[in-house]
């Protein structure tokens, strides 16, 4: 994908994340169309995108949020005010009463966790729908770091463990099954995954009120097959008479954000080097973890253009390198570079290693222009230590 934008970033302090509300709305309209056509409920996975100033807007299109912790659940409850779902591999006892206050759905990772908290949930004055996470033992995720079905995974109940511990009484109070076995994938992967889920857990799905397909659905990507997704949802909905949920995180804010940075210095050591006021380690950790190569507007791959630079940060970590990029001209001190697709897994994962300041968070809208919604300084660094 070649990124272009009509935005002028020259007036902004760097580094900064910029989310273009126009692009966010475009994604939300696609997701809402899936809800409208299928009756499925689409939830924002806040683990990918928690820019809560956008939650009122997102809530106009989607059915709520899904969370992985007490704090994420509370954020969704307070800032969006719609359905709040939560799943964790295990819950802290001291958090659980508060989790129930904020949550509409609670998904348990094991029969043991369910039995531990069953009485609490069922005696709570608010109706809370409970589910179990199943592990289908099948995924097409190439990187084990992101594969919930990798060998020895702690995520969900495998069929072997489900059948070993199953009794008819154990499902009393369980209204749904949840599975998550995808990462940045198309609906053909979902179609194959559903076949495995049905083969292994179909008998139990008939007893449920809802089935949650989890996340990893790249629904707003240009080449995504929405018709196949609709077919998958309606098949499960009609076969088992259930409410279907999906929990995309990336798809909500995919390609809606930028990270704007300034060149601090250029040098040469066997190749051209440029030092930026942005850090892979601090500001875009997926570049090192995934690994992921974000595009830069106007730049290309190494040697595609006359001047190739290795981009790194001002931190003391030798490996804090973003990557090699080619440009049409030599880079110079003070020049701005714009990284693309920087809304997801950036703000939620950034850190202040080396005391490097966090980027400003900026929202752009057609009506209001740029709004700096958050800025950070020394006290934010100090409070984390």
The string of DSSP codes covering 114-136 is: HHHHHHHHHHSSS--EEEEEEE-
What's the pLDDT tens digit per position in 326-336?
A: 999 999 999 99
Task: State the pLDDT at residue 232.
Answer: 98
CATH value at residue 346: 2.40.37.10
Task: State the pLDDT at residue 143.
Answer: 86
Helix 111-123 × helix 93-102 angle, to 10°:
60
Based on the fold, state whether residues 67 and 127 are members of the same structural domain. yes
Question: How does strand 360-365 pair with strand 16-20?
Answer: parallel
Q: Does 11 fall in a domain?
A: no
Based on the fold, state whether residues 323 and 226 are members of the same structural domain. no
Task: Give the single-character DSSP code of 218.
Answer: -
Based on the fold, state whether residues 62 and 118 are members of the same structural domain. yes
Based on the fold, state whether residues 183 and 313 are members of the same structural domain. no
Based on the fold, state whether residues 30 and 56 are members of the same structural domain. yes
Of the three residues 220, 253, 286, the one that is the final residue of a domain is 253
Residue 308 has pLDDT above 80, yes or no: yes
Q: Does 374 fall in a domain?
A: yes
Based on the fold, state whether residues 249 and 261 are members of the same structural domain. no
What's the pLDDT tens digit per position in 87-106?
A: 999 999 999 999 999 999 99
Based on the fold, state whether residues 238 and 197 are members of the same structural domain. yes
Query: Global pTM?
Result: 0.96
Q: Does 181 fall in a domain?
A: yes
| Three-point CA angle 102, 205, 125, nearest 5° | 25
**Domain around 155:** 21-253
Of the three residues 253, 285, 303, the one that is the final residue of a domain is 253
Based on the fold, state whether residues 167 and 276 are members of the same structural domain. no
Of the three residues 253, 280, 314, the one that is the final residue of a domain is 253
Measured distance CA(209)–CA(215) in Å, rounded: 19
Q: Does 2 fall in a domain?
A: no
Task: State the pLDDT at residue 3.
Answer: 82
Name the domain count of the chain.
Answer: 2
Based on the fold, state whether residues 280 and 239 are members of the same structural domain. no
What's the pLDDT tens digit per position in 338-372?
A: 999 999 999 999 999 999 999 999 999 999 999 99
Residue whose pair of structure tokens reads 């592990």 in the numeric block: 135
Q: Does 3 fall in a domain?
A: no
CATH value at residue 85: 3.20.20.10
Residue 144 has pLDDT above 90, yes or no: no
Q: Where are the beta strands (DSSP E) in 12-116?
A: 16-20, 41-45, 64-67, 83-87, 105-108
Based on the fold, state whether residues 179 and 288 are members of the same structural domain. no
Based on the fold, state whether residues 208 and 308 are members of the same structural domain. no
Q: Does 357 fall in a domain?
A: yes
Torsion from C-alpha of 350, 348, 180, 30, nearest 10 degrees: -120
Closest CA relative to residue 323, chosen from 335, 333, 313: 313
Based on the fold, state whether residues 212 and 291 are members of the same structural domain. no
Q: Does 15 fall in a domain?
A: no
Task: State the pLDDT at residue 205.
Answer: 98
Q: Does 1 fall in a domain?
A: no
Task: State the pLDDT at residue 2.
Answer: 72
Contact 356, 313 (CB under 8 A): yes
Computed over every residue of the chain, the mean pLDDT equals: 97
């Amino acid at each position: 994908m070649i990124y272009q934008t009509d935005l002028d970033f020259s007036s902004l302090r760097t580094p900064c994340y910029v989310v273009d509300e126009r692009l966010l709305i475009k994604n939300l309209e696609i997701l809402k169309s899936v809800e409208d056509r299928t009756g499925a409920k689409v939830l924002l996975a806040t683990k990918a995108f928690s820019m809560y100033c956008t939650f009122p807007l997102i809530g106009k299109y989607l059915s709520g949020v899904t969370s992985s912790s007490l704090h994420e659940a509370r954020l969704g409850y307070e800032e969006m005010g719609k359905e709040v779902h939560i799943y964790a591999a295990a819950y802290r006892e001291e958090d659980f009463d508060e989790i129930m206050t904020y949550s509409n759905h609670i998904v348990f990772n094991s029969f043991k966790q369910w039995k531990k908290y069953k009485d609490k949930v069922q005696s709570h004055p608010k109706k809370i729908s409970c589910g179990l996470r199943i592990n289908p033992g099948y995924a097409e995720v190439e990187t084990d770091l992101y594969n919930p079905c990798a060998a020895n995974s702690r995520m969900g109940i495998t069929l072997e463990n489900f059948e070993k511990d199953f009794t008819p009484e154990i499902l009393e109070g369980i209204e749904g099954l949840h599975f998550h076995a995808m990462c940045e994938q198309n609906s053909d992967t979902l179609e194959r995954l559903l076949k495995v889920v049905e083969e292994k857990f179909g008998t139990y799905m008939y007893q449920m009120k809802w089935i949650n397909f989890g996340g990893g659905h790249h629904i707003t990507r240009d080449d995504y097959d929405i018709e196949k997704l609709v077919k998958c949802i309606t098949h499960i909905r009609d076969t088992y008479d259930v409410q279907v949920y999906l929990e995309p995180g990336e798809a909500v804010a995919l390609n809606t954000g930028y990270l704007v940075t300034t060149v601090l210095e250029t040098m040469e050591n066997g190749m051209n080097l440029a030092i930026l006021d942005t850090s892979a380690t601090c500001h875009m950790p997926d570049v090192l973890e995934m690994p992921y190569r974000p595009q830069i507007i106007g730049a290309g791959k190494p040697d595609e253009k006359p001047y190739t630079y290795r981009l790194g940060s001002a931190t003391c970590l030798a490996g804090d390198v973003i990557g090699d990029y080619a440009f049409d001209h030599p880079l110079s001190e003070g020049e701005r570079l714009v990284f693309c697709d920087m809304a997801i897994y950036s703000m939620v994962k950034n850190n202040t290693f080396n005391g490097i300041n966090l980027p400003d968070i900026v929202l752009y809208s057609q009506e209001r222009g740029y709004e700096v919604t958050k800025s950070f300084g020394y006290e934010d660094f100090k409070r984390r230590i």
